[in-house]
């Protein structure tokens, strides 16, 4: 039933494994120049770890630390023992690099194979990797996972839609790895060629590498007549294979035998209560060449409370709700635009556009949400509109814990931008 026995670990087993592996990780990390210094300064050693919660005695690691330690500052083994390097684009800004030993490559492939198996992929499947290869960890990461699982793997790479569809048909491809936005674009291409996406033999799509909504997933599933599974990873934690959806599709199981996950308030760095949004902070437990401790991913998510129906005890994280960089502080409260979007997009009366406007009234921040209403609901009945406005205020207040002003506006009346939508207009005077 499981690809890896580690999938069946109980909470108690996970806790004791995490304790042991965190000690090993601290010991190993101390061999790198960066952590030798950082751990000495913090005065924390392996013996200080009695439970996974003791991780909070360790300092946080940020992207800036990785940049400052480029290229080899976090490496714990001789260069001759490394077999792989993935690097962020080094042309602009400061690059970062991630290193792998041969064992790290095998561990990563095994984690990725476990994810795919959990989503229902089997060695009998024909798998097409429609993602770019090279320095991007998504390509080679999922490629190695598929081969470890034993799928017939087609390294198609990104783009060239005409070739993609020919390969999918000629080899009865049953599983694809595809970036969500390309999945939608590819469906358009197919339809323009007179091919129904649902006529393709794809039964499972692995989607990830860019944040997307539940709505996008359902749309991909509807178009291709397949099930689509959300994938989470980042190159600082190997790449893909950190967390993945099971067939319940109720959040992504994060592999707690390989990572310790914390969700922290990005201001106080205190853990948020279960179910609340915060910044995901990850620690590697099995990485040999380059362990990373308490890495601030800047990704916003929450732990999904309760037990998954699939029986796996590895905790689930929700789909990524945004980046900490997007966080607004209003009247001392952290607010993420994605929280507003989730409330609004769940209401059928609301159109596709909205705008968050921040102003200052004396010394008080004012938080206004302008909401476009669908044509059907924009009736001349003031009572009905006021009732709708009231419901939106209540829902937002329950989610955000502050009370916004809400203005209902006509469909098409808010500014539209090309490309990435501009959802926040901050008109507060700069201090």
Considering only residues 128 through 147, tell me which ones interact with a second copy, judged by CB under 8 A: 133-135, 139-140, 147
Residue 79 binds which of a second copy, Zn ion, none (CB < 5-8 A, kind-dependent)? a second copy
The distance of closest approach from Cβ of residue 297 to a second copy in the complex, given in angstroms and rounded to an integer, is 23
DSSP class of 137: H
Binding to a second copy by residue 154, rule CB under 8 A? yes
**Contact pick of 215, 248, 274, 375 for Zn ion (by CB under 5 A):** 248
Q: Residue 29, exposed/middle/buried by CB under 10 A (0-12, 13-18, 19+)? A: buried
Judged by CB under 8 A, the number of residues near a second copy is: 42
Nearest by Cα to 25 from 8, 6, 39: 39
Pick the piece of the chain touching a second copy (CB under 8 A) from 34-42, 75-83, 348-356, 421-429.
75-83
**Contact pick of 58, 130, 175, 246 for Zn ion (by CB under 5 A):** 246
Pick the piece of the chain touching a second copy (CB under 8 A) from 27-35, 118-126, 214-222, 387-395.
118-126
Around Cβ 409, how many Cβ atoms within 10 Å?
16
**Contact pick of 83, 333, 364, 387 for a second copy (by CB under 8 A):** 83
**Contact pick of 167, 308, 358, 409 for Zn ion (by CB under 5 A):** 308
**Contact pick of 36, 53, 59, 171 for a second copy (by CB under 8 A):** 171
Task: Tell whether omega for the bond before 71 is within 30 degrees of 0, i.e. cis.
Answer: yes
**Contact pick of 31, 56, 123, 218 for a second copy (by CB under 8 A):** 123
The length of the chain, given as a count of residues:
431
Pairwise CA distance, residues 90 & 70, whole Å: 11
Nearest by Cα to 403 from 430, 366, 373: 366
126-143 burial, b at 16+ Cβ within 10 Å, e below that, comes to bbbbbbeeebbbbbbbbb
Query: Which residue blocks in 150-266 are alpha helix, DSSP H?
Result: 161-170, 180-192, 214-224
Kindly list the residues in this chain that would bind a second copy in the complex (CB under 8 A): 70-71, 79-80, 82-87, 89-91, 95, 97, 99, 102, 105, 123-124, 126, 133-135, 139-140, 147, 150-157, 160, 162-163, 166-167, 170-171
Kindly list the residues in this chain that would bind Zn ion in the complex (CB under 5 A): 246, 248, 308, 310, 312
């Amino acid at each position: 039933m499981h690809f890896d026995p580690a999938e069946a670990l109980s909470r108690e087993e996970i806790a004791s494994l995490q304790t042991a592996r965190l000690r090993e990780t601290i010991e190993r990390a101390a061999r790198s120049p960066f952590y030798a210094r950082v751990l000495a300064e913090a005065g924390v050693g392996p013996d200080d770890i009695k439970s996974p919660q003791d991780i909070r005695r360790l300092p946080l690691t940020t992207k800036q630390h990785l940049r400052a330690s480029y290229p080899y500052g976090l490496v714990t083994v001789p260069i001759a023992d490394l077999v792989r390097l993935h690097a962020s684009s080094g042309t602009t800004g400061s690059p970062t690099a991630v290193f792998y030993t041969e064992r790290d490559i095998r561990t990563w492939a095994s984690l990725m194979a476990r994810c795919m198996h959990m989503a229902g992929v089997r060695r009998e499947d024909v798998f097409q990797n429609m993602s770019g290869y090279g320095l991007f960890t998504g390509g080679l990461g999922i490629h190695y996972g598929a081969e470890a699982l034993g799928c017939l793997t087609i390294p198609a790479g990104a783009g060239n839609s005409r070739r993609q569809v020919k390969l999918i048909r000629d080899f009865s491809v049953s599983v694809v790895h595809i970036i969500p936005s390309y999945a939608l674009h590819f469906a358009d291409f197919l339809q323009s060629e007179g091919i129904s996406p649902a006529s393709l033999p794809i039964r499972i799509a692995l989607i990830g590498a860019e944040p997307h909504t539940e709505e996008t997933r359902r749309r991909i599933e509807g178009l291709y007549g397949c099930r689509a599974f959300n994938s989470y990873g980042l190159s600082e934690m190997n790449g893909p294979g950190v967390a993945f959806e099971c067939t319940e599709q109720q959040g992504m199981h994060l592999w707690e035998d390989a990572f310790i996950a914390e969700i922290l308030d990005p201001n106080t760095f205190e853990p948020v209560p279960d179910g609340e949004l915060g910044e995901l902070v990850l620690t590697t437990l099995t990485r040999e060449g380059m362990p990373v401790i308490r890495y601030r991913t800047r990704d916003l998510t929450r732990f999904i409370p309760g037990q998954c129906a699939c029986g796996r005890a590895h905790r689930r994280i929700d789909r990524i709700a945004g980046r900490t960089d997007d966080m607004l502080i209003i009247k001392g409260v952290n607010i993420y635009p994605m929280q507003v979007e989730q409330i609004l997009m769940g209401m059928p009366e609301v159109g596709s556009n909205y705008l968050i406007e921040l102003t200052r009234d004396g010394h008080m921040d004012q938080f206004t949400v302008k909401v476009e209403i669908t044509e059907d609901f924009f009736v001349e009945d003031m009572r009905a509109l006021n009732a709708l406005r009231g419901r939106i205020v209540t829902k937002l207040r329950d989610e955000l814990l502050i009370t916004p002003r809400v203005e209902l506006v006509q469909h098409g009346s808010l500014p539209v931008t090309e490309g990435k939508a501009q959802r926040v207009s901050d008109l507060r005077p700069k201090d």
